[in-house]
Structure 1
């Protein structure tokens, strides 16, 4: 997301999540299950699981649901087996897109993703076709007006790579994926709560859209995020 529109885009995404809480719960359950499968059920040793559980608490998910998801991931309980798949593609105006999915049926998932892309002027690309335009990193976003100096001190002590105030006044912290847990802990210890935190893909080059292309792009992102198998959508579009 672009610096001048980051805050607005995050607020839009959170609003969309509130509208479709049932789908959000489904996505979180899958993330918890896979995180526990890959890194174990100890949140202190598994930053990815810790982040998933933090999102679950924000979404007011019942603790029993989360325990069952962890047990399924660690093999203590039978259930569906999900695998992670990443699709790369293009949206309207040549926007680069990365679509991360978790599925128990690859055929269904690729068909649904391809249909959404085609419907709104996009298309699937080959593996590696757009990934080079993104960097995998941890991102924390603080509300406009948050003191950058205070955030910087706590974040850098935790191992963050960069802290900056964006054009819209929000403060962004970036770190390596492996340092996400330490940075999050440092911010928490300093009494700083980010409005949004994630392990995601940050674009190195952005494309500004307007008019019909911008409208189609927003509809495409919404359509993809509505799919149960899609966990997150990253792109390099600047939307008005």
Structure 2
């Protein structure tokens, strides 16, 4: 019988993935602080980025250094925000948000990923119209639907979506109401398991078999690129 990866190999893989997550969060903290100032109380984007850092056990010292580099108190690298749009196999729309200090490298990496898995990079605006920006507060299966729904309505949320397959709940808000709704839900004793401002497609495209596998590989490859912060698609990949 073959042996699986050693404990050391598994640990190294986990450490490598953790390092990638840290890199992405630190870049987001830096860009948010540079754009809106280093005080999270007056900078919702920075506050959200700090929350992401704390959620992955990033130390407050690391977060503070990232903010100071962005605001000029410490020397640091400046990152630029870039969005790429394209299509995966099966006509699946994909948006890739990046933070980079080298646009030439980043576009080459993103274009390579699309080409490698049978997709193609599009022009600005080619798929963005299929998505809308919104705040999402997610509650795991087992959350009290009535309590969440009542509190969300009182907080000014736009919609509450309950998924019948497992009972998970999403509370949806306008982007500019996200922080207020999240604070109100937390004050009601209903802190979400995940909260973020994200992009969601108006309509999903169902793909199966080999096409679904190619789409899945493309999305994973893009997410693993150091310069990529977020990947959005309208793919419905089923349960696999």
Pick the aligned partner of 2:41 from 28, 44, 48: 44
Q: In the TM superposition, what are the counterparts of 1:19-168 in structure 2 within 5 Å? A: 20-168=17-165
154-163 or 204-213, larger mean C-alpha shift: 154-163
Q: Alpha-carbon deviations, 1:36-61, whole Å to 9, x = none?
A: 11111121111111111111111111
Structure showing greater radius of gyration is 2
1:11-22 matches, cutoff 5 A: 20-22=17-19
The partner residue of 1:198 within 192, 196, 199 is 196
CA contact (8 A) 1:81 1:104 kept: yes
Q: Deviations over 1:55-106 (max 9, x none)?
A: 1111111211110111122222221000110111001101001100000111
Change (3 A) 1:61 1:234: same
Pick closer, same or farther for the CA change 1:239–1:130 going to 2, 3 Å. Answer: same
- SS of aligned partner of 2:172: strand
Note the aligned Cα RMSD (angstroms): 1.6
- Greater shift, 57-66 or 189-198, is seen at 189-198
Residues 43 and 17 of structure 1: CA distance in aligned 2, closer, same or farther (over 3 Å): farther
Mind listing any 5+ residue stretches in structure 1 that lack a counterpart?
Answer: 1-15
Structure number with the bigger relative contact order (C-alpha 8 A, sep ≥ 6) is 1
Match of 2:173 among 163, 172, 175: 175
Gaps of 5+ in 2: 1-12
User: Counterpart of 1:202 in 2: which secondary structure?
Assistant: strand
The count of residues paired between Structure 1 and Structure 2 equals 225
The answer to whether the 8 Å contact 1:47/1:180 transfers is no
In structure 2, C-alpha distance between the alignment counterparts of 1:231 and 1:143, rounded to whole Å: 24
- The structural deviation recorded for 1:145 is 2.5
Please, which of 230, 233, 236 is the counterpart of residue 232 of structure 1?
A: 230
Distance 1:174 1:18, change over 3 A: farther
Report the CA distance between 1:148 and its aligned residue.
2.0
Question: Distance between the aligned counterparts of 2:44 and 2:157, measured in 1?
Answer: 15
